[in-house]
Amino acid sequence: QSVLTQPPSVSGAPGQRVTISCSGSSSNIGAGYDVHWYQHLPGTAPKLLIYDNTKRPSGVPDRFSGSKSGTSASLAITGLRAEDEADYYCQSGSWVFGGGTKLTVL
């Protein structure tokens, strides 16, 4: 069981907005550590979507956004597309990953 808690699954219809939460503690997110988010498709390397809580690497569409408050963080995806169906992981603290969330596009 990871110290960063994510919902096992979320779903949404194309065009909708979904959010994925990442709940930590005073030892990681609450201690001021930045939160990073990754998208992982089967058979491929994970892709960095959001770093330092809110920043997007070059090439990541602005449909993806991140936020952080207290001991939690969230990833929001707007204008949901079929190709967004993947596993999403948060990461914070001393090299800790969340358990992952499977996004299903209905």
Partner 1 sequence: QVQLVESEGGVVQPGRSLRLSCAASGFSFSSYGMHWIRQAPGKGLEWVAVISNDGSKKYYVDSVKGRFTISRDNPKNTLYLQMNSLRVEDTAVYYCAKGEGGHYLYWGQGTLVTVSS
Instruction: Give me the residues that bind partner 1 (CB under 8 A), please.
Output: 2, 33-34, 36, 38, 40, 44-46, 48, 51-52, 57, 87, 89, 91, 95-100
| CA angle centred on 17, ends 40 and 68, rounded to 5° | 70
CB of 91 to partner 1, least distance (A): 7
User: Of 37 and 105, which has the nearer Cβ to partner 1?
Assistant: 37
Does residue 99 contact residue 5 with C-beta atoms inside 8 Å? yes
Q: What are phi and psi of 82, to 5 degrees?
A: -55, -35
User: Of 76 and 96, which has the nearer Cβ to partner 1?
Assistant: 96
